[in-house]
């Protein structure tokens, strides 16, 4: 039964982490431009290296 004492807090912590991530994602505008994000993978990297990693 003691394992429950570990697993339940673990499950809650993971759930809270997911919730926190969602709140962060909304606040930082990850869902602002869903169509644009899909299109942007098609843009070729700049040849002059500006903005490249």
Partner 1 sequence: MNAPLRRPEAAEPCIDSRFTVPGMRCAGCIGKVERGLAQVPGVAAARVNFSAKRVAVSHAPELTGEAIIAELRKLGFEAERAADNPLARDDAETRSLLRALAVAGFGMMNIMLLSVSVWSGADAPTRALFHWLSALIAVPVIAYAGRPFFASALMALRHRRTNMDVPISIGVVLATVLSLYETATNGPHAYFDGAVMLLFFLLAGRALDAMMRSRARSGIAALLGRMGRGAQIVQPDGATRYVEAERIVPGMVMLVAAGEALAADGTVLEGRTLVDAAMLTGESAPRPVVAGDLVHAGMVNLGNPVRLTVVAAARDTALADIARLMDEAGQSRSRYVRIADRAARLYAPAVHSLAFLSFCGWLLAGAGLHQALLIAVAVLIITCPCALGLAVPAAQVVAAGALMKRGLLIKDGSALERLAEVDEVIFDKTGTLTLGEPRPVDLSGLGEEARRIALALAQESRHPLSRGLARALREEGVEPAVLDGVEETAGQGMSARFQGRPVALLRPESEVAGLAADLVIAGKAARIAFADPLRPDVQAALAALSGQGLACSIASGDRPESVAAVARELHLFAAAGMHPAGKLALLERRKASDHRPLMVGDGLNDGPALAGAHVSIAPGSASDVSQQAADAVFVGERLMPVALAVRVARRTMAIVRQNFTMAVLYNMLAVPLAIGGFVTPLVAALAMSASSLLVVGNSLRLARSAGKEGA
Instruction: Return residues touching partner 1 (CB under 8 A).
Output: 1, 8, 11-12, 15-16, 18-19, 22-23, 26, 32-37, 39-46, 50-53
> Any idea what DSSP says for residue 47?
T
User: What residues contact residue 46 under an 8 Å CB cut-off, 6+ apart?
Assistant: 52
- To partner 1, the closest distance from the beta carbon of 50 in angstroms equals 7
Which residues, in sequence order, are CB contacts of 25 under 8 Å at separation 6+? Answer: 31
* Nearest distance in Å: CB 51, partner 1: 5
- In the complex with partner 1, the residue whose CB is nearer, 6 or 32, is 32
């Amino acid at each position: 039964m003691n394992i429950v004492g570990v697993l339940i807090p673990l499950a809650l912590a993971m759930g809270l982490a997911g919730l926190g991530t969602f709140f962060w994602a909304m606040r930082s505008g990850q869902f602002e431009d869903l169509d644009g994000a899909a299109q942007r993978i098609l843009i070729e990297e700049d040849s002059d290296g500006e903005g490249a990693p």
